Amino acid sequence: MKTITLPKTPSFRLDGKRALVTGAGRGIGLACAAALAEAGAHVTLAARSTTEIKAAAAAIVAAHGQAEAVTLDVTDLAAVHAMATTRPAFDIFVNNAGTNRPKSFTEVTEDDYDTVMNLNVRAAFFAAQAIAQRMIEEGRHGSIINMSSQMGHVGGMKRTIYCASKFAIEGLTKAMALDLAPHKIRVNAIAPTFIETPMTAPYLSDAAFMTGVVAKIKLGRLGKVEDLMGAAIYLASDASALVTGTSLLVDGGWTVD
């Protein structure tokens, strides 16, 4: 009988890797940080709230993970650059910090627009640039994961600025992937549906809104932060070694039709 050599599944482990997650004090960012730490990475959690981010890092350490907290406002580009250049290079960057101001198109103010676009697009762009520059300097073959949204693939009522910002992230992801591929740095996006987080809680508390949202999610339920943890590990690990420039929809089927 002929001997068959079976292929071996690439590792989902991240032992020895250094990861940075922005907006990591709560919600999706905290879940991604916890997932990466559980997979073996040393995780730097960054957010504006010192108390919150320290508590998040402490919880990961208490669960036998490796984590540290950094107080960082990603809209302060000088602070982002200083953080990227004074710490050891990262292998993994989850570009997660973001915000939303749901309003009808005719009611959006300049302040609304500037607040959402400055954080979701401008800060995300230059944070990724700073991390990528350091990866290149240190010869790191890394993975950058931009946090997009299903609203980067479809429109939504009272979501004009948010949609604009997330469509921008989708385009940015593809173009970054082209520029960084020669350096063996992969760039992908995760595009979630409505996830139960502190940011979504105010409008999901509206029963009519909640009913309409769940009706569009083909699997019949809201997303939980746990639904994104596997996606983060996959895109950060060697299991996705040939994946770049793509967007992984975790939307329960919202965008199917």
Residue 90: phi and psi, rounded to 5, are: -95, 150
Residue 47: phi and psi, rounded to 5, are: -165, 170
Q: In whole angstroms, what is the distance from residue 149 CA to residue 185 CA?
A: 22
Q: Tell me which amino acid residue 49 is.
A: S
162 is catalytic: yes
Q: In whole angstroms, what is the distance from residue 251 CA to residue 220 CA?
A: 11
Which one from 113, 162, 203, 234 is the annotated catalytic residue? 162
Contacting residues for 84 by C-beta, under 8 A, at least 6 apart: 127, 130, 131, 133, 134
Order of strands across the sheet with 42-47?
66-71, 42-47, 18-22, 92-95, 143-147, 186-192, 247-250
Q: In whole angstroms, what is the distance from residue 26 CA to residue 197 CA?
A: 8
Is residue 136 within 8 A of residue 185, CB to CB? The reply is yes
Q: Is 3 exposed, middle or buried (0-12, 13-18, 19+ CB in 10 A)?
A: exposed
Active site residues: 162
